[in-house]
Amino acid sequence: MPLRPKPPSPILLSTPSLTAMSTEKNLFTPIQLGRYTLPNRIVMAPLTRNRAGEGNVPLDMHATYYSQRASAGLIITEATHCHPSGIGYPNTPGVHTPEQIAAWRKVTDAVHAKGGRIFVQLWHVGRVSHPSFHKGELPIAPSAIAAQGEAMTYEGMQPFVTPRALEESEIPGIIEQFRQGARSALDAGFDGVEVHGANGYLLDQFLRDGTNQRSDRYGGSVENRARLLLEVTEAIAEIWGRDRVGVRLSPSSTFNDMRDSNPRETFGYAIQRLNELDLAYLHLLEPSESDLRHGGIPIPTREFRPLYHGNLIVNWDYDQAKGNAAIASGDADLVSYGKLFIANPDLPKRFALNAPLNEPDPATFYGGGEAGFTDYPFLEEVAA
């Protein structure tokens, strides 16, 4: 895709007319999310883009990219590692050095200047890292079980290695890494934190019995396997307050070679416990075709709705009509969009006007510069 001219700043959209048309809730019905009143229920999903600079520092173009999308009810950043041990992909940002914190402050200031709200997604990849990211040291995991597949490294794709199982005495240090990441995110000016407990990364690895075969208080029963997720969430809430913390889970996902013998029980328990914490939200991924092809057990997010009484965000393959239907039925309170937000920085405006959507370019999803990142046109440019 050729580099397009830098688009003008988006016009923030006010959409009271859509909610006035019907008493039925939809994507444009305002909502209280923790301590924030959101103008709409259209969430920008966390999207890894592999464009951080040297030292895993966000660049100036990140401030442009996120502020272009400030008309979202909420922006959730790309996955952001809380500690060097959590790095597992090239050019992904962190929030654990002074340089990273200062760069993220530019991003949050730019989003706030456009009237937006932005949460950081805190991340530790666990076993799906590679020794090349850690000076030859093995990645860490709940158990010494290698994932099938390959790791993305600076030297190209490399087979996943067998990770080192964490000693129980090391686990408080992992919780402290998340806590410190949460403190750094506060310094960086974010509005809240999403705990990344999905997609086969460290907290998900502890939760599921396909990757957690420990025999201590962090393994075995579902209560023990959920312990780290809950302790990390509570540690972050101590920094932020529970009303500025969300959690993302992926009950049906097989990404990163994940499996669980009874995901309904496992995730049902975790969701019930998270419900007790009175968080800002829970963010659930729907099952995908890829999950089904790889033996996943498809559990629609609506099955978990009775277990979670707070705000529920759903994600995966939603368009405007499906999003409105999920909210109107009560199956969800908000809907997060990924590819559509990559290609349409003014997605709420396009939804409001039923305007045509830009097509995303998969060739520019990961890595590179501003092409496919900050240069998708706004509706005004398309009309011109």
Catalytic residue at 201?
yes
> 271: closest CA among 298, 302, 308?
308
CB 163 within 8 A of CB 139: yes
DSSP codes of every residue in 206-251: HHSTTT----STTSSSHHHHTHHHHHHHHHHHHHH-GGGEEEEE-T
Q: Looking at the chain, how many residues does it have?
A: 384
CB 287 within 8 A of CB 252: yes
> 83: closest CA among 72, 97, 65, 71?
97
Phi, psi dihedrals of residue 140, rounded to the nearest 5°: -105, 155
* Alpha carbon distance 284, 289 (integer Å): 16
Please, which residues have CB within 8 angstroms of residue 362's CB and are 6 or more apart in sequence?
Answer: none
Instruction: State the alpha helices, DSSP H only, in the chain.
Output: 16-20, 60-68, 98-113, 171-187, 202-207, 222-225, 227-240, 263-275, 289-293, 320-329, 339-343, 347-353, 379-383
Write down the catalytic residue from 201, 281, 318, 337. Answer: 201
CB 73 within 8 A of CB 41: yes
* 19, 68, 203, 209, 299 from 212: Cα distances, Å: 46, 40, 10, 5, 21
Report, as residue numbers or ranges, the catalytic residues.
Answer: 201
